[in-house]
Amino acid sequence: NIKCPFHGWEFGDEGLVKIPYREDKSKKLPQIKLAGYQVCEKADTIFLWHHADGLAPQWELDPLGADRHFYFYGRTLHLTRCSHCMEPQENQADYGHFFQVHKSQGLVQIGWTMRDYRIDGHQAVFTVDAEYKLFGIKLIQAEIVSAMQGPGLTRVTTVSSYLYGLIKSRMVTLAMVTPITAFQQHLAFHHYGRSLLNFPIAHLFQILVSIEVEKDMSLMATKQYRLKPKYIKEEQALIAYRNFYE
């Protein structure tokens, strides 16, 4: 049963089953039921379906897809304040902020190219190329494909080449956003890979991701959400994302 911590009312599958301080136990209890939500367990995570208009699930959730046999490498967790729960996921489509917020890590310079974006039913897919350079030497080259499966889950596939192709890896990251309060969001990043031999690379990747996420988090607390901001032509991916989210 589910028990209210304030008055102690208890609810079961059929509705209200107990009011602890009710004097006349012979009378029937009020016909009150709690709202129910459809849930599923995928990739060792419990997902809950919520629709603003109360509609049933519109698609079958498949977080890892063909990579469901990958090894779990670990996870990183973040708690952030922002004006709208769509903003953490929006960063992946907001190509313009890469050049200001994610242009470097210490002496390492990062270059970004938005290669492609498309809306495919319940998914918004964005492909970005990234290069990490130190004094002109290319350390990492990566293709990053972010497939947003609704507003709360993004499947990020990263194919990386280290030291001019000497080492290669393919990883999948599930980026999940859960609203905690009106202005507080819980972010979870679960990392998966093809082989346990790539674990050292995966650990480095998790560190790099956490550094970049924390950069965004520090700015989101003061960022103002605008329903209809001004755009320029280079922000077509961001426009497509916002239309998709709505």
**Measuring CA to CA, how many Å separate 130 from each of 134, 159, 161, 226?**
14, 10, 11, 28
Q: Give the per-residue SS3 of the chain.
A: CEECCCCCCEEECCEEEECCCCCCCCCCCCCCCCCCCCEEEECCEEEECCCCCCCCCCCCCCCCHHHCCCEEEEEEEEEEECCCCCHHHHCCCCHHHHHHHCCEECCEEEEEEEEEEEEECCEEEEEEEEEEEECCEEEEEEEEEEEEECCCEEEEEEEEEECCCCEEEEEEEEEEEEEEECCEEEEEEEEEECCHHHHHHHHHHHHHHHHHHHHHHHHHCCCCCCCCCCCCHHHHHHHHHHHHHC
Is residue 128 a contact partner of residue 112, using CB atoms and an 8 Å limit? yes
pLDDT of residue 246: 78
Work out the burial of residue 124: count CB atoms within 10 Å of its CB; fewer than 13 is exposed, 13-18 middle, 19 or more buried: buried
Residue 228 pLDDT? 83
Q: What is the pLDDT of residue 80?
A: 86
Residue with token string 């002496």: 107
What are phi and psi for residue 12, nearest 5 degrees?
Answer: -110, -165
Note the pLDDT of residue 207. Answer: 86
Q: What is the pLDDT of residue 50?
A: 86
pLDDT by residue, tens only, the chain of 246 residues: 999 999 999 999 889 999 999 988 888 899 999 888 889 998 889 999 888 888 888 888 888 887 778 889 889 998 888 777 788 888 888 988 998 999 988 888 999 998 999 988 888 999 999 998 988 888 889 999 999 987 789 999 999 888 777 788 888 999 999 988 888 889 999 999 887 777 787 788 888 888 888 888 888 888 877 878 899 988 999 999 888 887
How far is residue 139's CA from residue 229's CA, in Å, rounded to a whole number?
37
How far apart are the C-alpha atoms of 189 and 179, rounded to whole Å?
Answer: 15
Whole-angstrom distance, CA of residue 132 vs CA of residue 155: 22
Q: How many angstroms separate the CA atoms of 69 and 144, rounded? A: 20
d(CA 48, CA 217): 24
Q: How far apart are CA 16 and CA 192, in angstroms?
A: 42
